[in-house]
Amino acid sequence: MDNENNPRPDPQVMFDLANMRMPFGKYKDRRLIDLPEAYVVWFSQKGFPKGKLGDMLRMLYEIKANGLEYLFGPFRQ
């Protein structure tokens, strides 16, 4: 059972985040979960893009900043 003290990530959101690819820039075509942390931090400082990409990068930033990258284990090959 989910609660405020032990939230569980939405599996569909995690799947989407694990499979979405960066559409532009130096890391074009790289899966978001494989972006370097410094790059994601840079977006957090400069501003995330609008739309779904920005939402996904914002979630990725929170995951990386809080040391929760292990959540992507099931999505790595």
Which pTM was predicted? Answer: 0.82
Q: What is the pLDDT averaged over residues 8-33?
A: 90
Residues 6+ apart with CB under 8 A from 31: 18, 19, 20, 21, 22
- CA 49, 22, 13, 67 dihedral sign is negative
The one-letter amino acid at 32: L
Confidence of residue 45 (pLDDT cuts 50, 70, 90): very high
